[in-house]
């Protein structure tokens, strides 16, 4: 990026940081972020993501000490970046973080009693802005006048020594070894070690900023002790598990506290604490290519955890009608699907060589927006708006809602010639009735948009989209800005009808036939539609290709409705059917409310602090009691 620019981006192939050469004038403040995998990150003149794989490759060709560090990179964790910067980078102030753990440069007050960590769901542009990560001037101001900047300390209910001793996967012998090595090789630091370890405040994450001279002193001291630790303790021979093998990183957190305790007592050391910003989801948006080189039929869904079982039903119905001459490329856009949900949805394609099911969470793209939602329509409905821009390898796609069943080969719809139009969809017959006498309020609302024909708006639940044309004329930012400013009653559906007017191919209503009963609200509203439109809609009843349960009377709530049996026919064939049945049986059995016991809870929290073996045993005992009762 340019010198004075800041960017939030997906670290698909982070620059080979060790090989970067820069003019000395730019090497003032550096905040290095250790990145162990592709991730969303920030980069500007101060914040520098560093890919661990690049460090390892660089150090493998260095000195004996470099090669040792490269060989033990997974054990040193983020300390590998600190080692490399100590040996090979020049800066006036050195800072260190992690792709998941950063500093907040604007929100420096404690996050809560005994808490030092702020949380953000994604490292989006909005998150970077709120915490000053995108503004070098803000970072400089936060560090001004300090020799050292540390995280707000995390406060335990026990001493730091006791906390380490109680950690289930760590070994107190390792901390004892470090204290012994300090007494043997760095005796001036032994009083500080005893004082710090008897206290209850810990600086987490090996995160800090230090001025150059102090940083070089600390790094020489730290890595000297850790190298001697390797000589004293053979972790592999002791059969350490994966977490215990990362002991050098855990010891580094304690050594940072010991070092700071020592220098703060000996010399003036202006210091400041900043809150840690924890990023909950760091996965970047992948650049998806079509799953199949030939005869690819891309079908996009948008869903969330609550709707996953209905997405599975729609997908199951679609897969029951596929043909061998086509390949079906299913992409499920989601916000909060669990690993179990993804496994169940993927299971539907098992044994089908011509079906691919992939998942993508586009939520970081929406973090900057406040989009209108209703009780029945959530943010996921807007996901279809980002498909053209963020899937540039696709030139045409199908989009399907989750509350429908497919009754024919969907490839037939995909093969439709759009004829230069942006999208293809079926007229929303219920809307046509709404604005033709059923609802004066709806008529007044839609009059403001001045449609050429107010009766021919399409329903956005089944769409064929020329993504190449949409991408050419509308960016995702433009569409989302338009959605946010418009505050539309029917969200993305209104937006698409407005922007695509005059470039919409109208599909036969059989491709999006509504499953609402005639005596329902929507069923009654469509009876007000102009006669030619209603007759064309009713003719489609004889050749329904996609049945869309677009109204509030969903078949899973009203199983006796006219077309509900079709939903249940496919739902029974999904991996969710047994789960739904099990939930019903459990709900019937659960009649006793669990006691809250606030006083007991306070006692347990005091006697069994977080991170201790006693806490783990208390949880097991509680689970046993609950199961027995």
User: What number is the average pLDDT over the span 115-141?
Assistant: 91
CA-to-CA separations, 302 to 7, 358, 379, 381, 574, in angstroms, rounded: 28, 12, 10, 7, 18
For domain 296-585, is the CATH number 3.90.550.10? Answer: yes
Cα radius of gyration rounded to whole Å, the chain: 30
Cβ neighbours of residue 306 under 8 Å, at least 6 residues apart? none
pLDDT band at 162 (very low <50, low <70, confident <90, very high): very high
CA nearest to 129, candidates 151, 102, 106: 106
Share of the chain above pLDDT 90, in %: 76
Is residue 20 scored above 50 in pLDDT?
Answer: no
198, 161 contact by CB (below 8 A): yes
Share of the chain above pLDDT 70, in %: 86
DSSP 8-state assignment for residue 154 = E
Of the ranges 111-125, 308-322, 380-394, which one carries the lowest mean pLDDT score?
111-125
Give backbone dihedrals phi and psi of 10, rounded to 5 degrees, phi first. Answer: -85, 125
DSSP 8-state assignment for residue 201 = E
Give backbone dihedrals phi and psi of 151, rounded to 5 degrees, phi first. Answer: -65, 155
Q: Give residue limits of the domains in the chain.
A: 7-281, 296-585, 598-628
Cβ neighbours of residue 498 under 8 Å, at least 6 residues apart? 449, 451, 486
Q: How far apart are CA 377 and CA 489, in angstroms?
A: 10
pLDDT band at 200 (very low <50, low <70, confident <90, very high): very high
Question: Helices marked H in 338-475 — which ranges?
Answer: 339-347, 387-390, 411-414, 429-433, 440-447, 467-473
CA nearest to 151, candidates 196, 114, 205: 205
Element of type H or E holding 183? helix 172-185
Question: Helices marked H in 63-153 — which ranges?
Answer: 64-71, 73-76, 79-88, 125-130, 136-143
SS3 category, 509: helix
**Mean pLDDT for the chain overall:** 89
Identify any residues that bridge with 547 across adjacent strands, giving them in sequence order.
405, 513
User: What number is the average pLDDT over the span 32-44?
Assistant: 93
pLDDT band at 323 (very low <50, low <70, confident <90, very high): very high
Is residue 525 scored above 90 in pLDDT?
Answer: yes
pLDDT at 521: 87
Is residue 318 scored above 70 in pLDDT?
Answer: yes
pLDDT band at 487 (very low <50, low <70, confident <90, very high): confident
Listing from the earlier edge strand, what are the strands of the sheet with 101-103?
101-103, 276-281, 117-122
**Does 117 or 253 have the greater pLDDT score?**
253
pLDDT in tens, 532-577: 999 999 999 999 999 999 988 999 999 999 999 999 999 999 999 9
Q: How far apart are CA 93 and CA 212, in angstroms?
A: 6
Cβ neighbours of residue 122 under 8 Å, at least 6 residues apart? 40, 279, 280, 281, 282, 363, 364, 367
pLDDT at 285: 85
Q: How far apart are CA 252 and CA 170, in angstroms?
A: 14
In which region does residue 513 sit, left (phi positive, over 0), alpha (psi from -120 to 50) or beta (all else)? beta
pLDDT in tens, 88-97: 999 999 999 9
pLDDT at 368: 83
Burial of 377: CB neighbours in 10 Å, binned 0-12, 13-18, 19+: middle
pLDDT at 375: 74
pLDDT at 392: 96
Element of type H or E holding 531? helix 531-539
Residue owning tokens 């707000």? 152
pLDDT at 14: 40
pLDDT at 376: 73
Q: How far apart are CA 286 and CA 361, in angstroms?
A: 9
Give backbone dihedrals phi and psi of 12, rounded to 5 degrees, phi first. Answer: -75, -40
CA-to-CA separations, 508 to 457, 517, 535, in angstroms, rounded: 13, 20, 12
Cβ neighbours of residue 381 under 8 Å, at least 6 residues apart? 302, 491, 492
Is residue 628 scored above 60 in pLDDT?
Answer: no
pLDDT at 590: 53
User: What number is the average pLDDT over the span 339-365?
Assistant: 95
Task: Please give, one letter per residue, the 3-state secondary structure of 342-369.
Answer: HHHHHHCCCCCCCEEEEEECCHHHHCCC
State both tokens at 561: 């409705």
Q: How far apart are CA 322 and CA 318, in angstroms?
A: 7
Q: How far apart are CA 332 and CA 358, in angstroms?
A: 6
State both tokens at 502: 């005059």
Q: How far is CA 575 from the centre of its chain?
A: 25
CA nearest to 407, candidates 559, 270, 513, 487: 513
Is residue 238 scored above 60 in pLDDT?
Answer: yes
Q: How far apart are CA 44 and CA 5, in angstroms?
A: 6
Q: How far apart are CA 439 and CA 478, in angstroms?
A: 31
C-alpha triplet 51, 56, 58: angle, nearest 5° = 95
Q: How far apart are CA 243 and CA 169, in angstroms?
A: 6
pLDDT in tens, 574-618: 999 988 776 555 555 554 454 444 555 556 655 666 656 666 666
Q: How far apart are CA 609 and CA 166, in angstroms?
A: 10
Burial of 565: CB neighbours in 10 Å, binned 0-12, 13-18, 19+: exposed
pLDDT band at 391 (very low <50, low <70, confident <90, very high): very high
566, 408 contact by CB (below 8 A): no
Is residue 629 scored above 80 in pLDDT?
Answer: no
Cβ neighbours of residue 367 under 8 Å, at least 6 residues apart? 121, 122, 124, 125, 126, 127
CA-to-CA separations, 322 to 319, 507, 563, 570, in angstroms, rounded: 5, 20, 22, 15
Give backbone dihedrals phi and psi of 355, rounded to 5 degrees, phi first. Answer: -130, 130
Is residue 339 scored above 50 in pLDDT?
Answer: yes
Of the ranges 130-139, 364-373, 423-432, 463-472, which one carries the lowest mean pLDDT score?
364-373
Q: How far apart are CA 402 and CA 308, in angstroms?
A: 8
Of the ranges 74-88, 405-419, 509-523, which one carries the lowest mean pLDDT score?
509-523
Q: How far apart are CA 291 and CA 185, in angstroms?
A: 59
488, 448 contact by CB (below 8 A): no
Is residue 248 scored above 90 in pLDDT?
Answer: yes
Of the ranges 16-20, 226-230, 453-457, 480-484, which one carries the lowest mean pLDDT score?
16-20
- pTM value > 0.85: no
Is residue 22 scored above 80 in pLDDT?
Answer: no
């Amino acid at each position: 990026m340019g010198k004075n620019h800041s960017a939030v981006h997906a670290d698909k192939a982070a620059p080979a940081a060790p090989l970067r050469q820069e003019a000395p004038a730019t090497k003032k403040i550096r905040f290095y972020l250790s990145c162990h995998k592709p991730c969303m990150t920030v980069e500007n003149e101060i914040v520098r993501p560093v890919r661990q794989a690049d460090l390892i490759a660089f150090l493998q060709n260095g000195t004996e000490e470099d090669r040792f560090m490269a060989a033990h990179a997974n054990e040193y964790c983020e300390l590998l970046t600190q080692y490399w910067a100590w040996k090979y980078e020049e800066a006036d102030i050195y800072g260190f973080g992690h792709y998941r753990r950063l500093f907040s440069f604007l929100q420096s007050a404690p996050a809560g009693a005994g808490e030092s960590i702020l949380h953000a769901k994604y490292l989006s542009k909005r998150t970077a802005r709120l915490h000053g990560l995108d503004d070098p001037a803000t970072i400089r101001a936060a560090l001004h006048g300090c020799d050292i900047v540390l995280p707000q300390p995390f406060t335990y209910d026990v001493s730091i020594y006791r906390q380490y001793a109680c950690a289930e996967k760590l070994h107190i012998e390792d901390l004892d070894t470090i204290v012994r090595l300090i007494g043997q090789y760095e005796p001036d630091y032994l009083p500080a070690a005893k004082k710090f370890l008897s206290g209850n405040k810990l600086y987490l994450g090996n995160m800090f900023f230090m001025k150059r001279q102090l940083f070089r002193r600390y790094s020489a001291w730290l890595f000297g002790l850790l190298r001697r630790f390797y000589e004293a303790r053979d972790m592999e021979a002791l059969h350490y598990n994966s977490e215990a093998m990362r002991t050098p990183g855990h010891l580094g957190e304690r050594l940072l506290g010991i070092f700071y305790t020592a220098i703060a007592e000996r010399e003036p050391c202006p210091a400041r604490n900043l809150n840690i910003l924890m990023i909950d989801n760091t996965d970047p948006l992948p650049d998806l290519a079509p799953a199949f080189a030939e005869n690819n039929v891309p079908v996009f869904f948008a869903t969330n955890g609550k709707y996953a079982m209905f997405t599975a039903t729609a997908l199951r119905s679609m897969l029951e009608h596929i043909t061998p001459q086509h390949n079906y490329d299913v992409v499920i856009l989601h916000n909060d699907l669990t690993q179990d949900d993804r496994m169940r949805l993927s299971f539907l394609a098992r044994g089908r060589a011509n079906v691919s099911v992939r998942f993508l969470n586009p939520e970081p793209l929406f973090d900057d927006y406040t989009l209108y939602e209703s009780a029945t329509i959530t943010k996921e409905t807007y996901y279809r708006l980002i498909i053209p821009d963020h899937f540039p390898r696709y030139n045409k796609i199908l989009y399907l809602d989750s509350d429908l069943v497919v009754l024919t080969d969907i490839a037939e719809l995909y093969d439709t010639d759009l004829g230069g139009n942006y999208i293809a969809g079926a007229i929303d017959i219920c809307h046509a009735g709404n604005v033709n006498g059923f609802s004066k309020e709806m008529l007044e609302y839609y009059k403001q948009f001045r449609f050429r024909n107010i009766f021919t708006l399409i329903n956005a639940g089944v769409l064929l989209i020329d993504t190449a044309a949409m991408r050419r004329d509308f960016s995702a930012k433009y569409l989302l800005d338009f959605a946010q400013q418009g505050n539309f009653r029917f969200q993305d559906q209104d937006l698409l009808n407005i922007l695509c007017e005059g470039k919409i191919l109208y599909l036969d209503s059989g491709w999006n036939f509504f499953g609402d009963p005639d005596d329902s609200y929507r069923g009654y509203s469509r009876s007000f539609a102009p006669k030619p439109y209603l007759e064309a809609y009713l003719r489609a009843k004889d050749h329904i290709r996609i049945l869309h349960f677009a109204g509030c009377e969903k078949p899973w709530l009203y199983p006796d409705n006219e077309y509900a049996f079709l939903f249940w026919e496919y739902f029974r064939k999904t991996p969710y059917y047994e789960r739904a049945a099990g939930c019903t049986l459990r709900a019937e059995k659960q009649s006793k409310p669990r006691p809250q016991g606030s006083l007991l809870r306070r006692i347990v929290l005091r006697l069994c602090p977080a991170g201790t073996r006693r806490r783990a045993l208390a949880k097991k005992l509680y689970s046993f009691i609950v199961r027995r009762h």
